[in-house]
Amino acid sequence: MAVLVTGGAGYIGSHMVLALHDAGEEAVVLDDLSTGFPWAVPDDVPLVEGDIADAALVAKIIAEYDVTAVAHFAARIVVPESVADPLGYYLANTVKSRALIEAVVTAGIRDFVFSSTAAVYGNTTVSPVPEDAPLAPVSPYGRSKLMTEWMLADAAQAHGLRYVVLRYFNVAGADPAGRSGQSTPHATHLIKVACQAALGLRPGLDVFGTDYPTPDGSCVRDYIQVTDLAEAHLAALAHLRGGGASGIYNCGYGRGYSVLEVAEAVKRISGVDFPVRLAPRRAGDPASIVADVRRIRADLGWVPTRADLDGIVMQALAWERELLAREGA
């Protein structure tokens, strides 16, 4: 009995594999290694290199490893890239998910957990934002994920599939035991960029916009620690296995930090006063997006334990140092 983790060699997927592993569950990873890393998958977890849309391959994995549930992480996730290459994003995230869902339905698998995003809410002015807020994604990335949410709902209605959609807010940090982290070389995410500035890998941090209607003028985000997020997936799996209904859940802490607050935390924890430049707004950034987390806490009983921003920054810094040490080795 195993959980099929697509994208299990990537940032969030690899933390899911570790969480399953730590919980004594069997996993099998399907990843095309386009952005993932084979070393991110523990040695005793099978890693199949291939395409999630390869129905024959998915059927073979399901049979061979006795797969009983799927956690679907494999996706392209860079918003500006999705604006430049929308058809590529609809193929990778929507069309291929359709093929995967079909293979899963054909194999008679019932339980499916899907990685979605707060980007489905677009430039919301509702804060904190609940799951039933209007859905108005402003990028092909957000739309490619929302379409997959809709496919899951329709497939569930028609074929008895049951699913949990998790809408991630700003995922950050690294495995507290140092086994994985955000390893994408050109990642643009704030905490990673700030940590790289602290380590001298970048000249400094540009703060994109300081004239937003927020307490200090910079954007506010709800940063969720990646292991806590992986554990939300375990809670979702337990819910589905226990006969729980399909549902859609925000994954965040319900607490926001501004870009300037994050920059200060990284400076304080690293002890490095790296340059912080006030830069123009970045296109498409909502001023503030914070999760309403009442539903996930009530329905899935998920209790995050790593919500402390300082802890997240410490893990992110430790992981950047680890990547540097590996490069130098």
The set of catalytic residues is 141
Which own/partner contact pairs does 78-87 have at CB distance under 8 Å and 24+ positions apart? Answer: 78/141, 78/188, 79/119, 79/139, 79/141, 79/142, 79/284, 81/141, 82/139, 82/140, 82/141, 82/144, 83/139, 83/140, 86/140
Rank residues 227 and 258 by Cβ distance to ligand UDP and give the closer one.
258
Q: How far is the CB of 219 from ligand UDP (least distance, A)?
A: 3
Q: For the purposes of burial, counting CB atoms within 10 Å of the CB of 74, is it exposed (0-12), middle (13-18) or buried (19 or more)?
A: buried
Q: Which of 93, 103, 108 minimizes the C-alpha distance to 149? A: 93
**Near ligand UDP by CB under 6 A: residue from 45, 190, 198, 276:** 190
Residue at shortest CB range from ligand UDP: 219
Residue of 170, 182, 225, 270 interacting with ligand UDP (CB under 6 A): 170
Q: How far is the CB of 187 from ligand UDP (least distance, A)?
A: 9
Residue 20 contacts ligand UDP per CB under 6 A: no
| DSSP line for 292-307 | --HHHHHHH----S--
Could you tell me the sign of the dihedral formed by the alpha carbons of 91, 94, 100, 103, in that order? negative
Choosing from 28, 41, 165, 219, the residue that interacts with ligand UDP (CB under 6 A) is: 219
Quote the least distance from Cβ 171 to ligand UDP, whole Å: 9
Task: Quote the tokens at residue 44.
Answer: 């005793």
Gap between the Cα atoms of 287 and 291, Å rounded: 14
Structure tokens at 146: 């929302």
Amino acid at 194: A
Q: Considering the complex, what minimum distance in angstroms separates the CB of residue 71 from ligand UDP?
A: 21
Indicate which single residue of 17, 259, 309, 316 sits in contact with ligand UDP (rule: CB under 6 A).
Answer: 259
**Residue 282 binds to ligand UDP (criterion: CB under 6 A):** yes
First to last CA, the chain: 38
Q: Which stretch binds ligand UDP (CB under 6 A): 3-11, 88-96, 185-193, 229-237?
A: 185-193
285 binds ligand UDP (CB under 6 A): yes
Among 78, 85, 208, 299, binds ligand UDP (CB under 6 A): 208
The rounded distance, in Å, linking the Cα atoms of 2 and 283 is 42
> Closer to ligand UDP at the Cβ: 205 or 224?
205
| Structural tokens at position 323 | 């990547």
Site string for ligand UDP, 31-60 (x = CB under 6 A): ------------------------------
- Closest CB 205 distance from ligand UDP, rounded Å: 6
Question: Does the protein bind ligand UDP through residue 229 (CB under 6 A)?
Answer: no
Contact 141, 75 (CB under 8 A): no
Using the minimum distance from each CB to ligand UDP, give the nearer residue, 112 or 141.
Answer: 141
Residue burial 169-197, b: 16+ Cβ < 10 Å; e: rest: bbbbbbbeeebbbbbeeeeebbbbbbbbb
Is 75 one of the binding residues for ligand UDP (CB under 6 A)? no
Q: How far apart are CA 97 and CA 95, in angstroms?
A: 5
Nearer to ligand UDP, 24 or 185 (CB): 185
Q: Work out how close the CB of 188 gets to ligand UDP at its nearest, in angstroms, rounded to a whole number.
A: 5
**By the rule CB under 6 A, 129 interacts with ligand UDP:** no
164 is a contact residue toward ligand UDP (CB under 6 A)? no
Q: Does 224 bind ligand UDP (CB under 6 A)?
A: no
Q: Which residues bind ligand UDP (CB under 6 A)?
A: 170, 188-190, 193, 205-208, 219, 221, 259, 282, 285
